[in-house]
Amino acid sequence: MLSSRVGGLLSFGHFQVRQLATVGARMVVRHVVDGFEAFSSFVEALPPAGPSDPHFIFYTGSKDPDGKSWCPYCVTAEPVIEEALKSAPENAHFVKVMVGAREIWKDRNCPFRKDPRTKLVVLPTLVRWKGPQRLQGEECGKPELVEMMFQDFDD
């Protein structure tokens, strides 16, 4: 449960994550989480989603020192997802999860691959948390599919 807000930091018990910004005039709450341990702590503390405040999680390759992901499909998908977020419901949570460097992701024992909550096979992956909606790989770079993800709420 959300316990406090100080400036741009949200505190979930002992875990803090930076709230980046809202998108346009909409109140999409954005978070960036780096690595599996931070992801696990974050989702355990995330308030339950409701019909008017769904949670979307975008799994992507971590960025290099120049700010570019090692994952080419992630690079293609990011601007498409950013644009589609403008049509996301008010109060939706958008969580960008950096899964790690290429070597970490390619390891068959990568926790993002093994964890039953994530079941990742390919990057990028965009999901509605605890819902059936899921886009993977090149699908995340297709504006019409990404827009449907943020607008279609039939479970």
Q: Which of 17, 28, 74, 95 does the annotation list as catalytic?
A: 74
Sheet holding 134-136, edge to edge: 29-34, 93-98, 55-60, 125-128, 134-136
Q: What span, in angstroms and rounded, lies between the C-alpha atoms of 127 and 118?
A: 9
Cis peptide bond N-terminal to 116, omega within 30:
no
- Phi (first) and psi of residue 94, to 5 degrees: -120, 120
Does the annotation count 71 as an active-site position? yes
Alpha carbon of residue 59 to chain centroid: 6
Does the annotation count 74 as an active-site position? yes
Q: Which of 71, 81, 120, 127 does the annotation list as catalytic?
A: 71
CB-CB contact of 23 with 85 (8 Å): yes
The residue type found at 44 is E
Catalytic site residues? 71, 74
